[in-house]
Amino acid sequence: MKPGTFQSYSADFGRILVPENRNKKNSRIIHLIFIRICALEDNSAEPVFLLNGGPGKSNIRGLLSPVFFTHNDLVIVGYRGIDTSVRLESTKVSEAMTIENPLSPLGMQHISRIIKREFDRFKRNGVDIDGYTVLEVVDDIDLIRSALGYPKINLFSSSYGTILAYLYCQRYPEHANRNLMVGASNISRHLVRDPGVIDKVFNAYGRLWENDPQASERTPDIIKTIRKVLKTLPRYWNGIRIDADKIRICTYWQLYETETAAKIFDAFVAAENGDYSGLALLSYSYDKEIPDWDLLCDYFSKAISCGLDTTRELAENMDPPESIIGSPSCKLILGSSSQGAWPIKPIPLRYRTIDSCHVETLIVMGNLDPSGPLDYVKEMMPYFKRGRLVVLSEMGHMDPANLQPKAFNHLGELFYSSGEVDTSKFVYNKMSFTPGETFQSLAKEVFKDKIKK
């Protein structure tokens, strides 16, 4: 361990040697990094281990509010496959996803071929893909807990990180003190978001839109508008290619938070009225941003190791004709990596299904969350024997932590210190369908030279 600074706080930067695959006696050793920020005041409480979202993203990013490490250490353990000496990095997979009509049968076949080639490349280079599972990540977390000498730890997780937190509570319950999960995922759903739950979020937004006088004046039925626009998209706007598949994928991603949801609904209304600039910008941005997603192979490893049924026809199941947009992100990422394209061994069955959890747990959700659908979370709650669920109205995936940070920090700090759940500082978050900045205004700035021509 070496001293340093992480986001203006004094920190210890650590490196630990871990087996690449704990299920093999002669597995090679890889390096894993982690960071510890020591308690700002007295170290009188259990440390908080931070588990960020993903997969396919580093855990060494972002930081909690200082209230979460005032009386306790904060530890951030790197995710294997990303924050290790072996990185499941590939530019070819992300570039393959930028082809035209990526969700078409030909597009999906092309992406799957590239994924399989990359799997074979890693294997030729000596990478043991079966060592990059969610359970191995959990074992890394406990190894570092032990190395740092903590008898018990608190867990703070969000999105995909909540799967890791749940698994930790199942595998190491004697070392878990309290467990706070935001935007939770249900491991038995294997990171699959079925079209029906996404439609349910759309319809909830639709009801809010209908009851908003300013919004409903623009169009009485936002869902009908979205369906209509997707069926009548032009191929180009001022020379910018508009790809319907990429619009659907980006639309789903914009639903994650209420602020961006308002912007995407605004763009569809503008398109219905003849201004396709906002949607053109999304299609254009997809092609610019996706190539930076060079760690998708980590996503495949973690998702499929959760027990994803790789024989399921995800490409078809995620795109039913009656759905509003289907489940386009799931189709793109999991549909293309299933059917043998990324053959990783799943973790044992007992960890792939929800079972009784006796760790004191608080789950905080927004009711408009397409990534951690509330219905999936409610399926889990009977198994959390000491669990509490807080649902905040008119909030998306990470809105509970981001929109009212003082209220959230109070909730989390009190839960860790005493187990009490106090939501009294939250206020009703009324959904606003009037974005501060629109995709159309951004498009006209980005494409101003093309518009002049």
Q: How many other C-beta atoms are found inside a 10 Å radius of the C-beta of residue 430?
A: 10
Give the per-residue pLDDT at 43.
86
Give the per-residue pLDDT at 36.
98
Contact between 362 and 387 (Cβ < 8 Å): yes
Half-sphere exposure of 324 (CA within 13 A, CB side): 21
Alpha carbons 59 and 39: distance in angstroms, whole number: 20
Alpha carbons 431 and 415: distance in angstroms, whole number: 27
Half-sphere exposure of 354 (CA within 13 A, CB side): 18
Phi, psi of 156 (to 5 degrees): -120, 115
Overall pTM surpassing 0.95 (yes/no): yes
Q: N- to C-terminal Cα distance for the chain?
A: 58
Alpha carbons 364 and 157: distance in angstroms, whole number: 10
Alpha carbons 16 and 3: distance in angstroms, whole number: 15
Query: What are the pLDDT digits (tens) for 82-116?
Result: 999 999 999 999 999 999 999 999 999 999 999 99
Query: What are the pLDDT digits (tens) for 383-396?
Result: 999 999 999 999 99
Q: How many other C-beta atoms are found inside a 10 Å radius of the C-beta of residue 293?
A: 17
Q: Which of 292, 62, 45 is nearest to 158 (CA)?
A: 62
Q: For a pLDDT cut of 90, what percent of the chain falls above it? A: 94
Please check the confidence at residue 452 and state whether its pLDDT lies above 70.
no
Please check the confidence at residue 23 and state whether its pLDDT lies above 70.
yes
Query: What are the pLDDT digits (tens) for 179-206?
Result: 999 999 999 998 899 999 999 999 999 9
For the residues of 92-159, what is the DSSP string, one character each? HHHHHTTSSSTTSHHHHHHHHHHHHHHHHHHHHTT--GGG-SHHHHHHHHHHHHHHHT-S-EEEEEET
Length of the chain: 453
CATH classification for the domain delimited by 2-86+130-191+350-418, as one of 3.40.50.300, 3.40.50.1820, 3.60.10.10, 3.30.420.10: 3.40.50.1820
Alpha carbons 407 and 240: distance in angstroms, whole number: 43
Give the per-residue pLDDT at 197.
96
User: What SS3 class is residue 356?
Assistant: coil
Residue range 249-278: mean pLDDT, rounded:
98
Contact between 122 and 297 (Cβ < 8 Å): yes
Please check the confidence at residue 134 and state whether its pLDDT lies above 80.
yes
Query: What are the pLDDT digits (tens) for 279-291?
Result: 999 999 999 999 9
Give the per-residue pLDDT at 195.
96
Angle at 400 between CA 304 and CA 9, to 5 degrees: 85
Q: What is the helix (H) or strand (E) element at residue 76, kind and residue range?
A: strand 74-77
Query: What are the pLDDT digits (tens) for 207-245?
Result: 999 999 999 999 999 999 999 999 999 999 999 999 999
Alpha carbons 175 and 144: distance in angstroms, whole number: 12
